[in-house]
Amino acid sequence: MKKGETIDKLLYGGYSTLSLGYAGLYECVKAMTGRSHTEDGGKEFALDVMRYMNDKCKQWKAAENIDYSLYGTPIESTTYKFAKCLQKRFGVIEGITDKGYITNSYHVHVTEKIDAFDKLNFEAEFQLLSPGGAISYIETANLTNNVEAVLAVIQYIYEHIMYAELNTKSDFCQECGYDGEIQIVENEDGKLIWECPNCGNRNKSKMNIARRTCGYIGTNDWNQGRTQEIKERYVHLGGD
């Protein structure tokens, strides 16, 4: 391209992709069917929603010659904003709009007790319907002393799903040197804050916390909605 040349013509003819982002498939299915999308009746409806959105992309593509694609967005901090907007619009509905976050893309709800392998197998089907971008992950305990388990999961990912990752905690408290998992607790004002379980340090600038909230691992701090989501994550492998 020449300097100063506009890019609009490159949007056409399959040269670039325009994403249709979606989030909260779990909440949508729960509201419409009364079930989780991991349950019978819920799953078919969830797949129908995904197919419908894919069909829309195909329709737009045919009409405009622009490569629209369905993208399973992690919605980062927007999760909090969306949750608040849904509450405002529909009120507080138990199990659907009663949290400060909504579920990423097609993901199984973070509190749902599901085995790591079942989760990956289940989400693989949805990942195929999220061609513009998708990532699945499982939460694990500290597996430093269980390399066999790590290898088994990696092998399973290789054979069953396109893109998935393991989330483990590797925090560090600069006050006392603790290197386990820094906890999220509620303070006196009902606000969620991070606290070292070893020395009680609550100073965020004196601790290093790393959590995955999308395809990348974040090390900054998160808003209240995302923090609540992180706090409620079920451990799919090596937990209790």
Q: Which is nearer to Zn ion, 165 or 179 (CB)?
A: 179
**Residues of this chain, 199-228, that bind Zn ion according to CB under 5 A:** 199, 201
Residue with smaller CB distance to Zn ion, 17 or 198: 198
Q: Could you say which DSSP state residue 181 is in?
A: P
Q: Considering the complex, what minimum distance in angstroms separates the CB of residue 200 from Zn ion?
A: 7
The answer to the question of residue 87 lying near Zn ion (CB under 5 A) is no
Among residues 139 and 195, whose Cβ is nearest to Zn ion? 195
Compute the least distance from the CB of residue 170 to Zn ion, in Å. 15
Nearer to Zn ion by C-beta: 177 or 215?
A: 177
Residue 142: CB minimum distance to Zn ion, A:
17
CB of 199 to Zn ion, least distance (A): 3
What angle (nearest 5°) sits at the alpha carbon of residue 170, between those of residues 169 and 173? Answer: 120
Q: What is the size of the binding site for Zn ion (CB under 5 A)?
A: 8
The distance of closest approach from Cβ of residue 169 to Zn ion in the complex, given in angstroms and rounded to an integer, is: 14
Stretch that binds Zn ion, among 18-26, 41-49, 74-82, 168-176 (CB under 5 A): 168-176
Question: Of 19 and 198, which has the nearer Cβ to Zn ion?
Answer: 198
181/232 with CB nearer Zn ion: 181
Nearer to Zn ion, 87 or 198 (CB): 198
Which residues ranging from 171 to 200 are in contact with Zn ion (CB under 5 A)? 173, 175-176, 178, 196, 198-199
**Cβ neighbours of residue 80 under 8 Å, at least 6 residues apart?**
100, 101, 223, 224, 225, 226
Closest separation in Å from C-beta 198 to Zn ion: 4
Closest approach, Cβ 212 to Zn ion, in A, equals 23
Strand-pair partners of 80 = none
For 113-164, the three-class secondary structure string (H helix, E strand, C coil) is CCCHHHHHHHHHHHHCCCCCECCEEEEECCCCCCHHHHHHHHHHHHHHCCCE
List binders of Zn ion among 23-82 (CB under 5 A): none
Give the C-alpha separation, 36 to 122, whole Å: 12
Which residues neighbour 136 within 8 Å (Cβ) at sequence distance 6 or greater?
107, 119, 120, 123, 124, 127, 161, 163, 164, 165
Collapsing DSSP to helix, strand or coil, 211 comes out as: strand
Q: DSSP of 46-115, one letter per residue?
A: HHHHHHHHHHHHHHHHHHH-BEEEEEE---TTHHHHHHHHHHHHH---TTTTSSS----TTPPPTTS---
- Chain contacts with Zn ion (rule: CB under 5 A): 173, 175-176, 178, 196, 198-199, 201
